[in-house]
Chains A and B, each alone.
Chain A
Amino acid sequence: MDWFVPSDLRVEIKMESQLNQKPMRRRPWALGVVIFLGLILSGGGYAAATQTYQAEFGSPEQISEGRKLFLANCASCHGTNGEGAIGGPSVIGVGAASVDFQVGTGRMPGQASGPQLYKKPVQFTEEQILAMAAYVASLAPGPAIPAEEFLRTDGDVTHGGELFRINCAMCHNAVGAGGALTEGKFAPGLQGVSEKHIYEAMVTGPQNMPVFSDANLTPEDKKDIISYLKYVEDFESVGGYELGSIGPVAEGLFTWIFGIGFIIAITVWLGAKAN
């Protein structure tokens, strides 16, 4: 990997590759170790990536590598210069964050045409994704891949919860279980989505999601929201198994199938004659 890559990106790469190997939830100490290693390796401070808009990043080699990948995998829909074509919108100005989100969650390259892109296994390595991100970022300024400091989960969960309920819960459900939109579109569940991808989704507004720019929700606000989401994701319900956190419909079905089911089984036993 090229050493021009900002330090925080290196950290991300490590975290992502670790995530790919082990789909288990990351432990806090592991995160600490990774951050520490990342800082030592890069030996530098935080670069310009803390700014939301970034003209470009990455070395010229990386950009040209990204361009090759783009031409081979993306240009048929997004145009040879990213200007958009039949089947795909322009990517000029969408920013590195958008590429990292769309490709990093496997939504891009898109597969079947449908109301909405689904998450799929990721098609590219981290280096390739970053190269494409660098290329797209070089076309025009756009939202950058977020800085590590806003991806920590030690924010104000109460504030994050309030913001989440007001800005996000109507589509994603109060604890991020997901919800339906019109004509087959949907807001996906947020459990298991990495902090970075949640952040990138907020700043880029993938597909039909609106944009929550830093002028709307500050990076601190976003960090609080992510902290809240990670809190509820890790929260082991005090009342027992949660039935998917989708609310009263699951509870009603459970009552009819298991509650009433058990009780009717008992009535049948009770009414049957003994041998």
Chain B
Amino acid sequence: MSDLEKYTAGSATNIVRPIADPGLEPHRERMTDKSEHHARNAERQVSAMFIISMIGAVIAVWGFFAFPIVEGDLSATRNNTFWMGIGMALSLLGIGFGAVHWAKTLMPDNEVSEERHTARSTDEARAQAIEIVKLADGESGFSRRKLIRRTLYGALAFFPIPAVVIFGDLGPVVGDTLKRTMWAPGTRLTRDPTGIPIKASEVTIGSVFHVIPEGLSELEEHKLEEKAKAAVLLVRVNPGDLKEDPAKASWSYDGIVAYSKICTHVGCPVALYEQHTHHLLCPCHQSTFDLADHCKVIFGPAARPLPQLPITVDDEGYLVAQSDFLEPVGPSFWDMRK
């Protein structure tokens, strides 16, 4: 304890214990210590488990060969997963239970005590270490030669910079791509995933269409990137139910409204539409938007309404966009308003 007492005990109190430490409890003999018969039994149990382990390994190998993959028949996959897994489990558990049972019953269970030493080096060792450091410092002139030391610090500070810069091409510089989508004046609203355009007359009250811009399915590149921004939900409600801002009244068509499907919280698709309450719920974090009231947030962690896509109808009666969204879709980000 003397080692330990070198250090302050802080606010610890010093209490004299009622009795002195009685020392380790006396060892209690196990059945296997007392009788050779029990020891023999334990030995048999341990080897039985090792034998089970071997059988398990055989089962696992059998499972592999017995159930070759057959095209179109998934029972083979099911069977070899099950049998190989069970075989492996038996094989592993057999070894594990065997070894532990062996240790518990047949190996000595006398507790032994070992001395500890403090983590701190001895004063002597410390003094020697300091001596070595001083010697090295003197020999190298690290403290003495300030110019070398300072330029070394500089070099060490500079050399990692290229290692950071070299990752500059991980991604392109962010332009205003986050603020634009594929929607443009006259782009037809089409069904997701087929790309078939939608006529206004097909959208009955209470209907909901999952919409992508025309031409998205044919994109060779960046299809998912565009879809991740351009996905839209199209709903027709009774025009009387809409609480429309006069400035945005022309954005809907006869009760048909289109809103971005990408949640303004962290970007999950918001598509749980309730026909009668006109609520839109995000399944990821439960932000709720009131579709009848320009998708204002009425519950949950989102802060911005879902952006509305202004729509109208073309000469053939198909729904088309009047323009792109007038604000960025999806999660809010630092310079979204710039």
Residue positions of A touching B, CB distance < 8 A = 162-163, 166-167, 170-171, 179, 181-183, 185, 187, 205, 207-213, 215-216, 235-240, 269-270, 273-275
15 contacts between A and B (CB under 8 A): A170-B272, A171-B283, A179-B272, A182-B281, A205-B275, A207-B276, A209-B275, A210-B206, A211-B206, A216-B191, A236-B74, A239-B78, A239-B81, A270-B104, A273-B30
Q: Are A216 and B277 in contact (CB under 8 A)?
A: no
**Complexed CA–CA distance, A237 and B75 (Å):** 9
Given contact pairs A205-B275, A211-B204, A215-B199, a sample of 10 additional A-B residue pairs in the complex whose CB atoms are under 8 Å apart: A167-B210, A179-B283, A181-B272, A185-B274, A209-B275, A213-B202, A236-B75, A273-B104, A274-B32, A274-B104
Q: Which residue of the partner chain A has the closest CB to B212?
A: A166
Q: Contact partner of B202 among A171, A183, A215, CB < 8 A?
A: A215
Q: How far is the CB of B325 from chain A (nearest CB, A)?
A: 21
Main secondary structure of the interface of B (DSSP, over half): mixed
**Complexed CA–CA distance, A179 and B274 (Å):** 13
Answer yes or no: B57 CB below 8 A from chain A CBs. Answer: no
Cβ–Cβ < 8 Å partners of A237 in chain B: 78
**Complexed CA–CA distance, A240 and B86 (Å):** 12
**Complexed CA–CA distance, A130 and B107 (Å):** 78
Q: Are B274 and A181 in contact (CB under 8 A)?
A: yes
Interface residues of B in 142-162 (CB under 8 A from A): none
Take A207-B276, A208-B275 as given contacts and tell me if A181 and B202 are in contact as well, using a CB distance cutoff of 8 Å: no
Cβ–Cβ < 8 Å partners of A211 in chain B: 204-208, 275
Q: Are A166 and B210 in contact (CB under 8 A)?
A: yes
Q: Are A210 and B202 in contact (CB under 8 A)?
A: no
Cβ–Cβ < 8 Å partners of A215 in chain B: 199, 201-204, 207
Q: Are A216 and B279 in contact (CB under 8 A)?
A: no
Q: Are A205 and B210 in contact (CB under 8 A)?
A: no
Q: Are A210 and B299 in contact (CB under 8 A)?
A: no
Cβ–Cβ < 8 Å partners of A162 in chain B: 193
Q: Which residue of the partner chain A has the closest CB to B274?
A: A208
Q: Are B202 and A216 in contact (CB under 8 A)?
A: yes
Q: Are A238 and B202 in contact (CB under 8 A)?
A: no
Answer yes or no: B250 CB below 8 A from chain A CBs. Answer: no
Q: How far is the CB of B228 from chain A (nearest CB, A)?
A: 14
**Complexed CA–CA distance, A208 and B28 (Å):** 70
Interface residues of B in 251-300 (CB under 8 A from A): 269, 271-277, 279, 281, 283, 288, 299
**Complexed CA–CA distance, A216 and B206 (Å):** 12
**Complexed CA–CA distance, A205 and B276 (Å):** 10
**Complexed CA–CA distance, A183 and B279 (Å):** 10
* Top 4 A-B residue pairs of the complex, sorted by shortest distance between their CB atoms: A215-B202, A208-B274, A210-B208, A211-B206
Q: How far is the CB of B41 from chain A (nearest CB, A)?
A: 12
Residue positions of B touching A, CB distance < 8 A = 28, 30-32, 74-75, 77-78, 81-82, 100, 104-105, 109, 191-193, 199, 201-210, 235, 269, 271-277, 279, 281, 283, 288, 299
Q: Which residue of the partner chain B has the closest CB to A270?
A: B100
Q: Contact partner of B274 among A166, A182, A238, A240, CB < 8 A?
A: A182
Q: Are B279 and A274 in contact (CB under 8 A)?
A: no
Q: Are B204 and A213 in contact (CB under 8 A)?
A: yes
Cβ–Cβ < 8 Å partners of B78 in chain A: 236-239
Cβ–Cβ < 8 Å partners of B75 in chain A: 236
Q: Contact partner of B206 among A166, A181, A205, CB < 8 A?
A: A205
Take A179-B283, A207-B276, A210-B273 as given contacts and tell me if A238 and B206 are in contact as well, using a CB distance cutoff of 8 Å: no
**Complexed CA–CA distance, A163 and B208 (Å):** 13
Q: Which residue of the partner chain B has the closest CB to A211?
A: B206
Q: Are B277 and A182 in contact (CB under 8 A)?
A: yes
**Complexed CA–CA distance, A163 and B206 (Å):** 19
Q: Are A274 and B276 in contact (CB under 8 A)?
A: no
Q: Are A240 and B272 in contact (CB under 8 A)?
A: no
**Complexed CA–CA distance, A209 and B235 (Å):** 12
**Complexed CA–CA distance, A212 and B207 (Å):** 6
Q: Are B209 and A216 in contact (CB under 8 A)?
A: yes
Take A179-B283, A210-B235 as given contacts and tell me if A171 and B272 are in contact as well, using a CB distance cutoff of 8 Å: yes
**Complexed CA–CA distance, A174 and B174 (Å):** 34
Q: Are B192 and A166 in contact (CB under 8 A)?
A: yes
Q: How far is the CB of A219 from chain B (nearest CB, A)?
A: 14
Q: Which residue of the partner chain A has the closest CB to B202?
A: A215
**Complexed CA–CA distance, A213 and B203 (Å):** 8
Q: How far is the CB of B123 from chain A (nearest CB, A)?
A: 39
